[in-house]
Amino acid sequence: MSHPKNLILFVLTAIFILTGYSPLNSGFEGYEELSPKSISQMDDFAGRSVVFSDISYGTGEHQTYDIYLPVNRDHRKTRVVILLHGGGWINGDKINLNDMVATLLERMPDVAIVNMNYTLADAENFAFPTQFLDVGKVIDHVSMLSDSFQILPEFGIVGRSAGGHIGLMYDSVFDTDNKVKFVTSIAGPTDFTDPYLNRADNFEELLGLLVDPTAYSEDPLESLSPLHNINIFTSPRLLIYGQDDKKVPMSNGVNYSSALEDAGIKMRFKEFDAGHSNSWNDTQWNEAYDQIEEYVSLFLR
C-alpha cells in the first residue's frame, strides 16, 4: 500500500506542479567528461574544458551535481553559476536543464557552471529546509575544491519554477557569508500567502507536508516566502515571469519586485506575453538569456 504522504504529495503534484522541463541536448561541444575520481589529478587537465558528472555532496540519492570548467579557468577570476531545476519540489532532475547549460556555456565561455540535483520531497524527506540546505552543501563542496577546480568561489544562482523559489530563499536566509552575488528566478513562487496560490482546498495542509515542522515554529507560508524574507543578505535579483502564467501568477513577480525596490535592493523585472516558462518560445528564451548574461557581467565579475 502506498504511504499516505506519498498519496497526498501526488495530489499536490496534480494541483500545483511547477515543471522545469527543457529539451535535452545530446552533448556539450568541446567539453571532456571525466569521472569525479579524476578531481585529484586536475593538473593533468590544465588547458582543457572538462565536465565532472554526478559528484556526490551528500549521502542522499539526489545529492549530486555536475560542474563544467572552462578551458581558461583561473582561481582569481573564474566564477560559478549554479542552476536549480523545477518540478514542484517533488519532481525534476538536473538533466532537464542540459539545454540551459549548453546555452550558457556558449554565451559565457569563461564562467563555470554547476548543474545540481537536490533532495526531493517524499514520504521520508521534507522539502523545507532540506532543499535550501542542499544548495549550501553544494556551495561548500565546490568552495572546498576551488583550488583543484581552479575557480573563484563566488556564485550566481539561476532557478526555474521551484528552483527559483529555492534560490531566492537560500540567498536571503542561509547565505550569511555572501558567497551568492545574484539570483535569477524564472517563474519562481515568491509569496505563498498570495490568494491565487493558496485558494485550492487544503493548500496549507498540503504545503505543510513539504515542511519540517521542527524547523518552522511560525507561519510557514510567510517563513517560506521570499517576499517576506527581504533583508540585508538579499542579493541583486533578476525576475522573469509570464503574464499569463496559470501556475505561478505574475503578481508574485510584480509584488516581489516592488518590495525589493522599496527595500533598496538592486533588481530587474522582465515579463513576457506567455504562460509558465515551459511554454516560452525561442525568442522569449533568447531575451531571458540576454538578461542572465548581463546580470553575470554586472555582478559576477
What are the boundaries of each domain within the chain?
4-20+40-299
CB-CB contact of 207 with 149 (8 Å): no
Q: Hey, what's the cell of 189?
A: 513562487
- Tell me which of 17-21, 209-213, 233-237, 290-294 is least confident: 17-21
Q: What is the mean pLDDT of residues 20-48?
A: 75
Is the bond into 129 cis (omega within 30 degrees of 0)? yes
Q: Strand ranges (DSSP E) for the chain?
A: 32-34, 50-56, 64-69, 80-84, 112-116, 155-160, 180-186, 237-242, 267-272
Q: Is the pLDDT of residue 299 over 90?
A: yes
Domain range 4-20+40-299, CATH class: alpha beta
Decide if 56 contacts 138 (C-beta within 8 A): no
User: For position 249, what pLDDT does the model report?
Assistant: 87
How far apart (Å, rounded) are the C-alpha atoms in residues 107 and 234? 26
- Please tell me the distance from the alpha carbon of residue 18 to that of residue 162, in angstroms, as a whole number: 6
Alpha-carbon distance of 293 to 110, in angstroms, equals 12
Q: Name, in order, each residue with C-beta under 8 angstroms of 202's C-beta and a sequence gap of 6 or more.
A: none
147 burial (CB, 10 Å; 0-12 / 13-18 / 19+) is exposed
Alpha-carbon gap, residue 211 to 227, rounded angstroms: 18
Closest CA relative to residue 84, chosen from 136, 32, 36: 136
pLDDT, one tens digit per residue, over 53-95 is: 999 999 999 999 999 999 999 999 999 999 999 999 999 999 9
CB atoms within 10 A of CB 4: 10
3-state secondary structure of 157: strand
Cell matching residue 50: 572538462
Hunting for cell 513577480 — which residue is that? Answer: 253
Amino acid symbol at 22: S
Q: Give 272's DSSP letter.
A: E
Cα 158 → chain centroid: 5
Mind listing the pLDDT tens digit for each residue in 102-150? 999 999 999 999 999 999 999 899 999 999 999 999 999 999 999 999 9
DSSP 75: T
Contact between 226 and 263 (Cβ < 8 Å): no
Per-residue pLDDT tens over the stretch 148-186: 999 999 999 999 999 999 999 999 999 999 999 999 999
Q: Quick one: pLDDT at residue 114?
A: 99
Whole-number Å distance between alpha carbons of 33 and 259: 43
- Residues 124 and 3: their CA atoms lie apart, in Å, by 10
